[in-house]
């Protein structure tokens, strides 16, 4: 199925601040229809009142958010390679197109037809054709795919995450801006559009740093230590117990919604994982569902948590 989504301007601006994050949360159960694939066509209203196409969001999975989550019960996870966020600056008016869809939208102000759970609607085949035709040649925002911060965050595995973040980000940024070789070529190779490292990334880097600030005294470190104690250092997926067997603390605390995508340090966003499970969850960008308390992988594999003492279920 394919969906039309009205992105409330305030929410659009908030999400854009974090580089969109390739996630879309909503309260409408219609979202489930794009689990296992489907496109969410998202439009919004600019400051000058013009309605514009904001994104062609190709969904991979839809998961349920934890009880009490502010921005909706359902979360769509994007195909990060193919999802496009559009540049709104010179964007054409999409109102005549939306008015012409089979989707009901007869309010005087278009946005009024898409309030609350009406924000998400099913699209017919003809509707999708009209939107696809409209989107041809629309300028996309420059960076689609993984941002440098995602790559960096994926590398922030381990005990010294908070201490390393500032150094790594600034070194990479400098090397990157001046085209120098870095000691770790891996990072540079994985940055998709080096020439476009711009202001939006600054917001995201600042946000990640903000969440991890304080190094050993950081809020994240405090909560992470608490969680590792809760599980006696075991992995919540496989119960690997290095602390018990070897008296070594090597399990990591993973952010379900990555910091670089706007996630936070709330306990409900954190899972204790062994280094192997942490690595595969990042490599696969595996969605986590709070209903089944399980990660799902691109090849169909599902890993339910064997241990859970802190994550809430769904509302």
Q: Which of 97, 161, 235, 256 binds Zn ion (CB under 5 A)?
A: 235
Count, residues near Zn ion per rule CB under 5 A:
7
For residue 246, give every residue at least 6 positions away whose Cβ sits within 8 Å of its Cβ, in sequence order, or none. none
CA separation for the pair 143, 145 (Å, rounded): 6
The residues that bridge with 294 in the sheet, in sequence order, are 289, 304
Place of tokens 């190709």: 58
- Binding to Zn ion (CB under 5 A) within 133-172 occurs at none
| Piece of the chain touching Zn ion by CB under 5 A; list 56-64, 77-85, 93-101, 234-242 | 234-242
Q: Give least dist CB 239 to Zn ion, A.
A: 7
Cα distances (angstroms) measured from residue 190 to each of 184, 193, 227: 11, 9, 31
Binding status of residue 53 toward Zn ion by CB under 5 A: no
- Binding to Zn ion (CB under 5 A) within 241-260 occurs at 254
CA separation for the pair 205, 125 (Å, rounded): 40
CA separation for the pair 303, 179 (Å, rounded): 41
Binding status of residue 237 toward Zn ion by CB under 5 A: yes
Binding status of residue 234 toward Zn ion by CB under 5 A: no
Q: Which is nearer to Zn ion, 123 or 253 (CB)?
A: 253
| Piece of the chain touching Zn ion by CB under 5 A; list 107-115, 122-130, 131-139, 228-236 | 228-236
Residue closest to 68 by CA, chosen among 217, 269, 305: 269
CA separation for the pair 211, 223 (Å, rounded): 12
Q: Give least dist CB 280 to Zn ion, A.
A: 9
Binding status of residue 277 toward Zn ion by CB under 5 A: yes
6 token code pair? 């009205």
Binding status of residue 110 toward Zn ion by CB under 5 A: no
Which spans of this chain sit near Zn ion (rule: CB under 5 A)? 235, 237-238, 240, 254, 274, 277
């Amino acid at each position: 199925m394919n969906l039309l989504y009205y992105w409330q301007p305030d929410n659009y601006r908030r999400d854009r601040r974090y580089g969109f994050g390739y996630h879309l949360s909503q309260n409408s159960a219609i979202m489930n229809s794009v689990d296992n694939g489907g496109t969410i066509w998202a439009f919004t209203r600019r400051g000058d009142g013009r309605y514009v196409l904001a994104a062609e969001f190709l969904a991979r999975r839809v998961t349920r958010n934890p009880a009490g989550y502010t921005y909706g019960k359902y979360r769509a996870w994007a195909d990060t390679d193919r999802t496009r966020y559009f540049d709104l600056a010179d964007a054409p008016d999409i109102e005549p197109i939306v008015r012409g869809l089979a989707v009901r939208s007869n309010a005087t102000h278009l946005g009024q037809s898409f309030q609350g759970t009406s924000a998400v609607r099913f699209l017919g085949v003809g509707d999708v054709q009209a939107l696809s035709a409209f989107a041809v040649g629309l300028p996309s925002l420059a960076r689609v795919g993984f941002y440098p911060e995602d790559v960096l965050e994926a590398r922030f595995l381990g005990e010294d995450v908070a201490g390393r973040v500032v150094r790594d980000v600034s070194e990479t940024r400098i090397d990157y801006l001046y085209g120098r070789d870095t000691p770790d070529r891996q990072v540079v190779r994985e940055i998709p559009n080096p020439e476009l490292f711009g202001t939006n990334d600054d917001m995201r880097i600042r946000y990640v740093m903000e969440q991890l600030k304080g190094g050993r005294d950081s809020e994240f470190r405090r909560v992470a230590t608490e969680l590792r104690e809760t599980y006696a250092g075991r992995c919540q997926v496989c119960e690997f117990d290095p602390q018990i067997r070897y008296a070594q603390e090597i399990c990591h605390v993973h952010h379900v919604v990555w910091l670089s995508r706007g996630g936070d340090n709330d306990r409900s966003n954190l899972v204790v994982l062994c280094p192997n499970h942490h690595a595969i969850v990042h490599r696969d960008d595996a969605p986590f569902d709070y209903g089944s308390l399980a990660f799902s992988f691109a090849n169909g594999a599902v890993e339910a948590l064997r241990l859970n003492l802190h994550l809430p279920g769904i509302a």
